[in-house]
Amino acid sequence: MPKNPKPFDDEDEEDQTEDRGHCRDCVYYDVDREEDEEISDETLAPCIHPDLEEYELIVSGDSGCNLFEAYEEELEDEEEEDEEDEY
């Protein structure tokens, strides 16, 4: 009988970390994003994910969780253009 059985397989661990990223790269990291300015690991900002917003979390740029969704600047620019076209 093995002494310390693993609670999960190594493959499961890889699957769990696949969708994680740093908060600084997440769409729910509520920070002003300047074009030429990179967000540092130490920058603090609220997390505005709908499932977490009620907790009023303040997270650093190098924090992360499994609700991560990548921020893509191009998508934000396209949304602004669509809004302008509506008027």
**What's the residue count for the chain?**
87
72 contact partners, CB below 8 Å, separation of at least 6: 27
For 4-61, the pLDDT digits (tens) are 666 655 555 555 555 689 999 999 999 988 877 888 999 999 999 999 999 999 999 9
Q: Taking the domains of the chain in order of start, what are their residue ranges?
A: 14-86
Tell me how far the alpha carbon of residue 29 is from its chain's centroid: 6
Secondary structure of the chain in HEC code, one letter for each residue: CCCCCCCCCHHHHHHHHCCCEEHHHECCECCCCCCCCCCCCCCEEEECCCCCHHHCCEEECCCEECCCCECCHHHHHHHHHHHHHHC
Q: How confident is the model at residue 1 (pLDDT cuts 50, 70, 90)?
A: low
The pLDDT tens digits for 24-36 are 999 999 998 887 7
Q: Residue 56's pLDDT is what?
A: 96
